[in-house]
Amino acid sequence: MTHHEHPDAALARRGYEAFSSGDMETLASLLTGDCAHHSPGESQMSGHFKGRDNVLAHYGKLMELTDGTFRVELKGVYPDGRGHVMCVHKWHADRGDRGIEMEGGLFLTIIGEKVSDLDECVADIAESDAFWGQAE
């Protein structure tokens, strides 16, 4: 059987590859100008980041707070064929004397072959909040 990847799944994979390689130009090209990333919890990394520039700044802060150790290991990409993709991953980071490894995912909404909405989920919101802490 031949595997034909759905275009929405391919878009999601390109986004993860761009993020992982630090290619923010490519990542920006995959997002709508008015996209939003929604992060769970009550930490300094939680909230609603609206607009491509704010979403990219949020990703930059992930790297800043972890001295560049933040990384994501993509485990699965599941499109519904109607403009949504569920991505499952494991993320890893070090911050100060603390490390974290946690499963999570992104639920993407795709409009016009670009990602317009990223809803983030994590396996343990309280643990994620403890890792990220409050704004300094």
Instruction: Give the chain's domains with CATH numbers.
Output: 7-132 (3.10.450.50)
Work out the mean pLDDT of the chain and round it to a whole number. Answer: 96
Q: How many CB atoms lie within 10 A of CB 14?
A: 16
The widest CA-to-CA distance across the chain, in whole angstroms, is 53
- Token digits for 29? 């090209």
- Provide the whole-model pTM: 0.93
Alpha helices per DSSP H over the chain:
7-21, 24-29, 52-65, 125-132
**37-43-46 Cα angle (round to 5):** 10
Residue type, 102: M
**In this predicted model, what pLDDT tens digit does every residue of 42-70 receive, in sequence order?**
999 999 999 999 999 999 999 999 999 99
pLDDT of residue 136: 64
Q: Are strands 114-122 and 84-95 parallel, antiparallel or unpaired?
A: unpaired
